[in-house]
Structure 1
Amino acid sequence: GYRADHQVLRGVDLELAPGTMTALVGPSGSGKSTLAKLLPRFYDVDSGRITIGGKDIRDIPSAELYRTVGFVFQDVRLIRGTIADNLRLARPEADVAELERAARAARIHDRITALPRGYDSEIGVDVVLSGGEAQRLSIARTLLADTPILVLDEATAFADPESEAAVQDALAELVAGRTVLVIAHRLHTITGVDRILVLENGTLVEQGDHAGLHAAGGLYQRLWEINAAALADVAATDRPAAPVRADVEEALR
């Protein structure tokens, strides 16, 4: 919890199997972001423990932990510096070829090379990146880090429409072969994940796959109905819903 008199998460017990994708869903304020941010130690638990390979993450040196756990959140943080500086936050020794390889995979290389000074262009001086572009740069940085564990806050939720398909392509590259924990805001994007965890008021109330939870008629089903109604409203106003690309769906499976 954030205060001694208020616990945000209580009695959560779960395991992320290597190479699987697990989605966190739940109403606003249920504790999804707090739970996800425990893994890279943005916060520490008050009781209990989190382990990777049996080792308490509080006993893992920070440098080692961030070689193991990568993260991409909606609130992208970029430093005042060049594109290359921002990418090398993940791996300071990376050479230009490695930067370019990560940027190509994240679908941001062409945008960078079109800038006045390419990878040496300074953010805020030579270029102001859109939300989707900043997100792809963050994904490139995470690709460069090449961590086996990844924490995602559904990265396309606030991407600008013209960037969303590119962000989805970049995410497909990023999640392949990793152990992934993703905070899901739009349930139609996570129907193919290995496991879905449903949080309510800081407790784990349901878990399973989409089909099982859908049939159970519990909180997940109610959230699914809300999601479906929102998509229907979008369709009714002729505003195209964000596409779920086949290659991303395949990666999620």
Structure 2
Amino acid sequence: MPEGSVTALVGPSGSGKSTLASLVARFHDPDAGRVMVGGVDVRQIATDELYRRVGFVPQDVQLLEATVADNIRLARPDASLEEVRRVARLAQIDEHITSLPRGYDSVAGQDALFSGGQAQRVSIARALLADPPVLILDEATAFADPQSESRIQAALAQLVEGRTLLVIAHRLVSITGADQIVVLDGGRIAEAGTHDHLLARDGTYARMWRAGQTSEDATEEGSGR
């Protein structure tokens, strides 16, 4: 993955997308080969240093029963409220937080309730505050309604400059602009390229794209739009 690029991992359930991404954050170690960050094998990097270099926005975000500000500050406990608000604005979640009864002092799970998409944006704010050069986004829009998805995409756009992104995609429409799309099947790379290149190849990705478009068309017809 070139520095500052966006790489998307796609494939059917069980194809190895999350497993491959987890190797970068060293949630697992490879049985063979090496995973390098900044030219260094991740197994040779101290855990705290690795997590400064690699951020992870998980598929299922679990917020702590703590203030919203402290949930974002997990990445940097010494961050000021203005720094917290700055990344929250970039993550498209500041408006919702300030509408809560006690704003950033509201406690998650008590007087601060978040939808799946909103929790994702809190997690994105946390990653922005940590400011790692490499960021892994696991199914970033998996739980999002259409409005939340558009806000998440706007938040993700703030992360691209000067950062290397590895995105595990559930909906192909969200990663058409990726610099590289890697298609996994059965734990192996089936094909790789840009969206247009893969469509032209008319292989696995093209079939997945057509299936996704057919599914969305059926959903729109069923909703009467």
The 1-side partners of 2:162 and 2:40 are apart by 22
Worse overlay, 62-71 or 168-177: 168-177
Matched, 1:56 2:24: no
Question: Could you say what secondary structure the match of 2:158 adopts?
Answer: helix
Is the contact made by 2:67 and 2:108 (CA closer than 8 Å) also made in structure 1?
Answer: yes
Out of 143, 150, 172, the position equivalent to 1:158 is 143
The 1-side partners of 2:58 and 2:207 are apart by 26
Is the contact made by 1:18 and 1:179 (CA closer than 8 Å) also made in structure 2?
Answer: yes
Structure 1 segments, 4+ long, off by >4 Å, are: none
**What is the identity, as a one-letter code, of the residue corresponding to 2:215?**
A
Question: Could you say what secondary structure the match of 1:89 adopts?
Answer: helix
Equivalent residue runs for 1:103-114 within 5 Å: 103-114=88-99
1:111 to partner: Cα distance: 1.8
Distance 1:218 1:163, change over 3 A: closer
**What is the identity, as a one-letter code, of the residue corresponding to 2:117?**
G
Question: Could you say what secondary structure the match of 2:75 adopts?
Answer: coil
1:68 to partner: Cα distance: 0.8
Residue 215 of structure 2 corresponds to which residue in structure 1?
Answer: 230
The 2-side partners of 1:239 and 1:38 are apart by 43
Out of 195, 217, 221, the position equivalent to 1:210 is 195
Alignment length, in residue pairs? 225
Is the contact made by 1:90 and 1:141 (CA closer than 8 Å) also made in structure 2?
Answer: yes
Distance 1:160 1:139, change over 3 A: same
Residue 12 of structure 1 corresponds to which residue in structure 2?
Answer: none
Residue 122 of structure 1 corresponds to which residue in structure 2?
Answer: 107
1:33 to partner: Cα distance: 1.0
**What is the identity, as a one-letter code, of the residue corresponding to 1:91?**
R
1:177 to partner: Cα distance: 2.9
Q: Is there any run of 5+ residues in structure 1 with no aligned partner, and where?
A: 1-15, 241-253
1:162 to partner: Cα distance: 4.1
Q: Is there any run of 5+ residues in structure 2 with no aligned partner, and where?
A: none
Residue 243 of structure 1 corresponds to which residue in structure 2?
Answer: none
Matched, 1:72 2:63: no
**What is the identity, as a one-letter code, of the residue corresponding to 1:207?**
A
Question: Could you say what secondary structure the match of 1:74 adopts?
Answer: coil
Is the contact made by 1:112 and 1:119 (CA closer than 8 Å) also made in structure 2?
Answer: yes
Question: Could you say what secondary structure the match of 2:22 adopts?
Answer: helix
Residue 195 of structure 1 corresponds to which residue in structure 2?
Answer: 180
1:41 to partner: Cα distance: 1.2
Question: Could you say what secondary structure the match of 2:74 adopts?
Answer: coil
Equivalent residue runs for 1:236-251 within 5 Å: 236-238=221-223
Cα RMSD after superposing both structures: 1.6
The 1-side partners of 2:162 and 2:82 are apart by 23
The 2-side partners of 1:239 and 1:198 are apart by 33
Equivalent residue runs for 1:8-157 within 5 Å: 16-157=1-142
**What is the identity, as a one-letter code, of the residue corresponding to 2:110?**
V
Query: Identity of paired residues, percent?
Result: 57
Tell me the TM-score normalized by structure 1: 0.84
Is the contact made by 2:140 and 2:168 (CA closer than 8 Å) also made in structure 1?
Answer: no
Distance 1:85 1:111, change over 3 A: same
